[in-house]
Structure 1
């Protein structure tokens, strides 16, 4: 049984608790439409589904934030200084990320909840900065709740046809991840060009 199948089974058997715990490790795009369908069936309540999913998703993001906060900026900065060049990273790259977070961190933390892969990554600079814990929780919970509501309500409205969302969410997720990978590829090519130019 896969992780997703286990999570779906947990939601069916344990309801809100199963949904909340599963959302620590499983993407909302996978579980929330199904949970919305269960609400349509009267097995769960839609508001409870959104709340359970939001709490679980927020806790999962908070774990990453706390890990980054424990590691701390100083250790990461030392890593960039000593080994960053092997990953084509400079200490100035860290400065840029932290500077962007100081100016726009609230909206990045909130908006990042809508994008697969990014939703995990945005917690790390927030923890390194560190963004105040209360503010991080507020914007993470707000973004997570909004996205869980969209997915849960969609599953609720579609009822037995909730699986129709899967292809659309698949395209959405693939597009979002592809844009992230494209950005990484552009950065790597730019940095390789810099390295070649510096050597000569």
Structure 2
């Protein structure tokens, strides 16, 4: 944790927590917010609400950016530079088809997985998933995860830092899994390229 961020949350409370969670991972802040609630400096439920609003806003900004870029521009990029990106339009079609079928689960569930948390907003914006549906699903997943993290900090009290190694391990495993999937995809694409 960054001492300046900690101090800002202690000094400015819910506003600082919400603003920081637009950009930062909840694993870095919500257990600390739970600890502050344990100490009586914040309300647990208001902290969860503020953190969830910030996280939802951050994801929505990524969604809106993807929506602004649009599928047509992405397809044009893939036609022009797809060979170098090791991705073609058919790959985009697969992702969008998967999203069309399971988008609700991916958006809500993706909030629980570091690395994926931000990435799931991109295909949702390209598809595009309706904005209010996206916000609702993002809010739901973010609220669940922030509640788990804040409750952990609240229940552990002054020992809230005991969560850090487990959250770090969880984040590392999620990152390695995402990296392995991307690596497998890239290797397969390289093997398919004509010599």
Task: Quickly name the TM-score band, shorter chain normalised.
Answer: over 0.9
2:71 is matched with 73
* One of 21, 24, 27 as aligned partner of 2:22: 24
CA drift at 1:10: 1.6
1:13 is matched with 11
1:113 is matched with 111
2:164 is matched with 166
CA drift at 1:180: 0.3
1:181 is matched with 179
Distance, in Å, in 2 between the alignment partners of 1:50 and 1:77 is 39
Distance, in Å, in 2 between the alignment partners of 1:134 and 1:6 is 34
CA drift at 1:8: 2.0
Distance, in Å, in 1 between the alignment partners of 2:158 and 2:21 is 22
Distance, in Å, in 1 between the alignment partners of 2:191 and 2:86 is 11
CA drift at 1:82: 0.5
Q: Quick check: 1:64 aligned with 2:62?
A: yes
CA drift at 1:7: 2.4
Does the 8 Å CA contact 1:23/1:60 hold for their aligned counterparts? yes
- TM-score of the pair, normalised by structure 2: 0.98
* One of 53, 56, 61 as aligned partner of 1:55: 53
Q: Cα RMSD over matched residues? A: 0.9
Gaps of 5+ in 2: none
Distance, in Å, in 2 between the alignment partners of 1:141 and 1:5 is 28
1:34 is matched with 32
Q: Match of 2:129, SS? A: coil
User: What are the Cα deviations for residues 17-62 of structure 1, in whole angstroms up to 9, with x where unaligned?
Assistant: 0100000111000000000000000000000010000000000000
Gaps of 5+ in 1: none
Distance, in Å, in 2 between the alignment partners of 1:92 and 1:163 is 45
- TM-score of the pair, normalised by structure 1: 0.96
